[in-house]
Structure formats: structure tokens, C-alpha cells
A and B are shown apart, each in its own frame.
Chain A
Amino acid sequence: MDPRSLLEPGLRSPDLAPGSPSCEVYNGRVRASRPRLFVALDAASVSGGAVARSGDGYRFASHARMALPAGALAPSPFAANLARPAEVADALRELARELSVGAAPACLLLPDGVARLALVDVPADVTAQQYARFRIVPGLPYPAGEAVIDVMPLGPGRAVVAAVRRSIVEEYEAAAMRAGITQDRLDLTPLAAIAGLLREPGPRGGLTVDVVLGDAALCLAAHEAGTLRVLRNRRRDPGPDEARRLAEEVERTAVLAGDGAGTRIRVVGPGARGLLTSWRSRGGSAEPGWRSAGPANGVDAAELPWLGGAAG
């Protein structure tokens, strides 16, 4: 079946290759669960769509990506992120128009590199939120009152906690509002990705290291039998030898998690396809963290880390 036959009337046909710097649009029909709308921002682009989790991957009801001018958005945990807010708002407005968002509420996803993340063992007598304040607030490079904190529970006594500076959250919210996007909630792309990947630990036993790429930062999450053992968050340093350095980081993460051999590696995020190609050319074995279910029409699901948000 020609995927173009599934296009909703009134929306532009996809005619750009994956990873195209300007725009990708795809509108299909979701047959499984109800799709949820996501709008994600990162240094190089804004992207989003209505996505539903299906049995064997993610099904797109719609998807679009708008490139951002270089330097318009620079993810940082304490400095202003939107150097040129008007250009970011313009890209978001164009994205919303391509997705025919209208007044539908969207989950806004902030890029990797804006939050302080930590994997913590939560004592029994406090909530994860309270313990998060105790553990990560003192180390933040801004006053405690400016921290917006939430947690990703991982079962009894264990959670990933994250803190974002309120002024930075407000920057993104203002840009979305300026673009006419109705904000439902606000999440962090790396947390959404890790949550989605943890829901599918895979058919094999043993250790898995998930690499969640962002334009400015990346996360390495090592887990075994559904239990997250190590979480690392680093700035990216793109360059010709990034693939080699990331392979070493994956190895370090596996060793930290207590198993340096036979590790399964999955990658999602912008640049995932290139990283996988590079690793395979050197004899490594890694796989995309997730795939599209059904006709994706040029959308490479592995390049979209925020898809994990649709797994819940």
C-alpha cells in the first residue's frame, strides 16, 4: 500500500528524506491506541506529532520536524536557553501548523542538557520528591527556590529525580504560548526516552545499555531485568571521533553497572542512525531503541527520543 494514501486531507505530502534539515511531515492512521500529541525542542530542531504505542513499535498519526537556525536554542541547565526566542517561536508555530494542532493540548518536551538528573535510592520514610530536594538541590548552580523538581519512579525505593531551573522552563513555555500551542504538561526528553526504553527491556536477559542522544547532551542508562543500575548524563562533543568516544562511554557504563561483557546496546535520539552505522562498520553490535509500527513514510523512529513519552 502506498503510504501516501493514508495521508489526511489538507496536509502536505512527505517528500523529504529522513534527517532533512528543513521539514518532514507524515500523517497516517493510528489503529491501536489513542495517539497523544508531543512537541519536542532541541538545539537543532523542533519536532513533534501525534503518536501511539503499538504492539511492535510507535504508530504516527502525524509527525513534523522544523529545523532551527544555528544558535537560536542552546540547552543549558542555568543560562538562558533561547538566544533568539522569536525564531524558536516561529519554528514552533510552523510545526503546529503542519501538525494541525489547533487547540489540542500537547506535552512539551525539553531537551537533554537542561536538567540535573540523578538515580537515587529513596529511603522508606520520605517521598521521592522530598528526597530529591535533599539530594540534588544543594548541588544546583542556582537558588533552591528556583528548582522545579519531579521524579520518575522506578519501583519501590528507587527513582530518577530531575531538577530544572524555573526561569528556563518559563522560557520554553513562553515560546510555546507565543506559537499558539496549548501546553498540557512539560516533560524532559531524556526521561521520556528512558521511561519508554525501560518499558521494553528486550527479550534477552543480561545487561542493556541505552544511549539517549540529544543535540547538546546525552544519557547512558544501564539496566538489567527491568532494574535501572546506572544513569549517566553528559554533554555531547560532536566530532569525527564521537562514535569511538561514545563506545568507550558505553563500555564504562556497563562496567559501572557490574557487567562489562555481552552487553546489549540500544540507541535513540538525533544521530542514532549514523552512530549505529559507524559502530557496525567497526564490528560493534547495537540496535535502534525502537522502530515505527506500520508505514512510517520516511520517519526514522530511532531518531526521535521523545517517542518514549507515548509508551506510558
Chain B
Amino acid sequence: MSPERDFSSRPRSRRARPLDLGLLALGVAAVLLSGHAAVAAWSARARARARVDQTRRETEEAQSRARGLEGRPEPAEALAYRGLLTAEASPPRVLADLTALMPSDVRLDAVTLSYGEPLGVQVDVVARTASSYDLFLDRLQRSPLFASVLPGEENRDGELRTSIQMAYRPPGAR
């Protein structure tokens, strides 16, 4: 139904009204915006795929190393040390020692314990502020329970996310 009657034998195309032009501009803006969003999403997808590939490679390498280690015969001394570690450095104990050093706005996302000589600890840390993270790192480095503290690469986009590798020295093993 036409907005204004027109009985012309060949109805003329109407000149665009300000409302028409406004709607056209909105449409063009929406197309541009959606195009930009599509390009950004495509780039994010490519980055995510690259990260997945890298993680997969790292996982495969780790599994390969694990398989190699599992196939190697362990000397008796190492077996004895592992027994000592599991007795004096049980996972709850290590975790308790670790959390005792943590400021209130630092949390652990993951903890990996590698029982060997020494007992390797890797933690994924999330800190609300950089200063809290620095305090946690300082406490770790000063603590006699932890040695060889090696902070990983930090992601300071919003929250601070990083991982730390260290060695745990149970009191009986010192």
C-alpha cells in the first residue's frame, strides 16, 4: 500500500525522504559493522586454531617424554627418595604449604606435582592485581620450602595470569 495515493499511469519513483536516507545510513552502518565483526571473528578463529595446534604439539611432546621416562628403569636410590617424598610431601601437604604463602586475591587455577628428584611443582596462578602476584612470588622465593622458583610469561590483560615452576623441598629432605 503506497503511503500517498498515486493514480499515475506510470508511477514515479519517489525522492528519498530524510527518514529513508536515515534508514539507508543505518543499514549501511549495520553492514559495515557486521563485516568488521566477521573479519574480527575470523581472525580470532585463526588465532584460536593456532593455539590449539601449539597446545596439541606440546601435549604430544609431553606424552612422548612421559612414555620415555616410564620405560626407563629407576635406580633403587631414586625409588627410596620417591618413597620419602610421598611420605613427607603428600599432595595435600604441598598444597597447604603453597596456599599458606598466597595473598587473598591470588588463586590457583591448576597445580601439577611431578614426584621425582626434586619434587617439581607447577602452578597456574590468577592474581587480581600485579602487586598481589609480586607479593606471592616474593614469599615463594623467600620460603625455605620452595626452591628454583621460575615465573612464566605473564598475561596482564585484565587479571594477571601466569604459571610458576618451582621445586618443593620437604623438611625431612633438607
A residues sitting closer than 8 Å to B (CB atoms) are: 110, 115, 127-129, 148, 150-153, 162, 164, 166, 169-170, 173, 183-188, 191, 312
Contacts and interface: CB of A to CB of B under 8 A. Distances in A.
Given A173-B8, A185-B4, A185-B6, 12 more contacts: A127-B1, A150-B5, A150-B6, A150-B7, A151-B5, A153-B1, A162-B5, A169-B7, A169-B8, A183-B8, A185-B12, A186-B7
B104 interface: no
Contact of B7 (A110, A128, A129, A312): A110
Range of interface residues on chain B? Answer: 10 to 19
A185 B8 contact: yes
Contact of A169 (B1, B5, B9): B9
Contacts of A166: 9
Contacts of A129: 1
A164 B8 contact: no
- Interface of A (DSSP majority class): strand
B124 to A, nearest CB: 63
A167 B23 CA distance: 37
Interface in B1-59: 1-2, 4-9, 11-12
A78 to B, nearest CB: 15
Contacts of B6: 150, 185-187
Contacts of B8: 148, 169, 173, 183, 185-186
Contacts of B9: 148, 166, 169-170, 173
27 contacts: A110-B7, A115-B7, A127-B1, A128-B1, A148-B7, A148-B9, A150-B5, A151-B1, A162-B5, A162-B7, A164-B7, A169-B7, A169-B8, A169-B9, A170-B9, A173-B8, A173-B9, A183-B8, A183-B12, A185-B5, A185-B6, A185-B8, A187-B5, A187-B6, A187-B7, A188-B5, A191-B5
A153 B5 CA distance: 10
Contacts of A150: 2, 5-7
B10 to A, nearest CB: 8
A183 B8 CA distance: 9
Which of B6, B7, B8 counts the most A-chain CB atoms under 10 A from its CB? B7
Nearest to A152: B5
B1 A185 contact: no
A147 to B, nearest CB: 10
Contacts of B12: 183-185
Nearest to A164: B7
A185 B2 CA distance: 11
Contacts of A110: 7
A312 B1 contact: no
Contacts of A188: 5, 7
A166 B5 CA distance: 15
Contacts of A152: 5
Contacts of A153: 1
Which of B9, B11, B12 counts the most A-chain CB atoms under 10 A from its CB? B9
Contacts of B2: 150
Contacts of A185: 4-6, 8, 11-12
A183 B5 CA distance: 14
Contacts of A115: 7
Nearest to A115: B7
A98 B15 CA distance: 26
Contact of B4 (A128, A169, A312): A312
Nearest to A195: B5
A312 B1 CA distance: 16
Contacts of B11: 185
A105 to B, nearest CB: 8
A186 B10 CA distance: 10
Contacts of A191: 5
